[in-house]
Amino acid sequence: MTTNLYRQLRELLPEPALTVATLTVAHADGTCTVAYPGGSQQRVRGTGTVDEKVFVRAGVIEGTAPNLPSVTIEV
């Protein structure tokens, strides 16, 4: 039986969270600035249309998010 230690380690680590953000600026170098519901901003890789909601995971735009009202719950 062959074991892959790297694969076992990856299975222990959690996946990065998928978040919804609003694309605020599309830059010419293939990156965009997005704004999160709490007010923070981040420059991420990917493209999109300004003022559309996008899914962001680990600094990369994964796709367009539905334009639904958002609710922020603090725990």
What is the count of structural domains for the chain?
1
Judge whether 4 lies within some domain. Answer: no
Burial 24-38 (b: 16+ CB within 10 A, else e): eeeeeeebbbbeeee
Judge whether 39 lies within some domain. Answer: yes
Tell me the residue range of the domain where 55 lies. Answer: 17-64
Judge whether 46 lies within some domain. Answer: yes
Judge whether 34 lies within some domain. Answer: yes
What is the DSSP code string of 31-56?
EEEEE-TTS-EEEEES---TT-EEEE
Contact predicate 48/34, CB 8 Å? no
Judge whether 26 lies within some domain. Answer: yes
Q: Is the pLDDT of residue 2 over 80?
A: no
Q: Is the pLDDT of residue 1 over 60?
A: no
The pTM (predicted TM-score) of the whole model is: 0.77
Judge whether 27 lies within some domain. Answer: yes
Contact predicate 70/37, CB 8 Å? yes
How confident is the model at residue 68, as a pLDDT? 86
Q: What CATH code is carried by the domain that includes residue 48?
A: 2.30.30
pLDDT digits (tens, 9 = 90+) for 14-71: 999 999 999 999 999 999 999 998 899 999 999 999 999 999 999 999 999 998 887 7
